A and B are shown apart, each in its own frame.
Chain A
Amino acid sequence: GDSVTQMEGPVTLSEEAFLTINCTYTATGYPSLFWYVQYPGEGLQLLLKATKADDKGSNKGFEATYRKETTSFHLEKGSVQVSDSAVYFCALGNYGQNFVFGPGTRLSVLP
């Protein structure tokens, strides 16, 4: 079945450091790929998405590119802030079906 693997956390960075959270997937068909974020005490929120190969999703300085050849969707941000501290989930999904999530990666950004 479909699956998502993402790097183990926690990830601890200093403010303004470069962030990469790796995500790879296995899937039948051509799913859309997503990054969700869960800030402390809040529900999951969609951060960005890409619906087809070579698409780049971006939001709030974060970006990820749908790489079909490497089955990856790595999340990057050039300069993290303390407010980016959260748990990040990589996911894949198809319209009308449930989503498959990775285990989540906790990011802590220190001032």
Chain B
Amino acid sequence: GAVVSQHPSRVICKSGTSVKIECRSLDFQATTMFWYRQFPKKSLMLMATSNEGSKATYEQGVEKDKFLINHASLTLSTLTVTSAHPEDSSFYICSASSGEEEKLFFGSGTQLSVL
């Protein structure tokens, strides 16, 4: 089946630094990728939707200058958390759509801890 690889699975960084998370579709071309964030005991919440070659669409309340999303190719999207702060600590997960109806594949997630 289709596989989405997300890297790194866990990252610890100092406050003020930037962290990049990669999401790759390994055996299909992902026309659309989604980035989610999950707070403890809360739902997965959509942060942004990215289509290859165009700017990401951010959900209300998500700072686009803080959470930079790049979808430069049909197999790779990156989320960069800029100037990270402790409140950015969370579980981030990406998903990718091949364009087929309701086919959505997920990465394994990244646990970000900002000290």
Contact = CB atoms under 8 A, between A and B. Distances in A.
Interface of A: 4, 32, 36, 41-46, 49, 51, 89, 93, 95, 98-104
Contacts of B92: none
Interface string B78-115: 00000000000000010100000110111111000000
Q: How large is the interface on B (under 10, 10 to 19, 20 to 34, 35 or more residues)?
A: 20 to 34
Find the residue from B41, B44, B49, B108 having the highest chain A CB count within 10 A: B44
Contact of B102 (A32, A43, A102): A32
Contacts of B106: 36, 43-45
Contacts of A104: 43-44
Given A4-B43, A41-B108, A89-B44, A49 B34 contact: no
Q: Looking at chain B's contact residues, is the secondary structure mostly helix, strand, loop, or mixed?
A: strand
Contacts of B43: 4, 100-104
A34 B44 CA distance: 14
Interface string B42-71: 111010010000000000000000000000
B6 interface: yes
